[in-house]
Amino acid sequence: MGEHRSDACTTEYPDELRERAVRQVPNSGRPVAHVAQDLGIHKEALRHWIRQAEADQGDRPHLLTTAEKSELAQLRKENAELRRADEILKAASVLFTKEVDQPRTTPTR
């Protein structure tokens, strides 16, 4: 895992803290809100981390795993790049076609 993960509108937390917090909830038998408060993190952040960990372990098959989310993001990025390349090629093709269709004049001496 990377050093930090973040979303645009959330606080960054080290992976080690995330992993420890996720393990602590079932091990302590305490409510998520209490564990989150003890660790100084928002309870909804911890709930999200727990759901994601469950998805990664196969306990929530309807959710994407971290690996699947990463792959999806990479594929979306590649798709956007390919769309841009396709637009460039289409524009070049139009220009090339116009150039080929223009009547050629031979220079007179």
Beta bridge partner(s), residue 13: 5
Domain ranges, residue 53: 1-63
At 10, which CATH number? 1.10.10.10
Q: Are residues 93 and 83 in the same domain?
A: yes
Q: Are residues 59 and 70 in the same domain?
A: no
Q: Are residues 72 and 59 in the same domain?
A: no
Structural domain includes residue 106: no
The string of DSSP codes covering 2-28 is: -SEE--TTS--EEHHHHHHHHHHHHHH
What is the per-residue pLDDT across 25-57, written as a single tens digit (0 to 9) for each? Answer: 999 999 999 999 999 999 999 999 999 999 999
| 32 alpha carbon, distance to own chain's centre | 26
| 87 alpha carbon, distance to own chain's centre | 24
Structural domain includes residue 87: yes
What is the per-residue pLDDT across 54-74, written as a single tens digit (0 to 9) for each? Answer: 999 999 999 999 999 999 999
**Cα–Cα distance, 16 to 67 (Å, whole number):** 18
Q: Are residues 49 and 69 in the same domain?
A: no
Two tokens, residue 49 = 């981390």
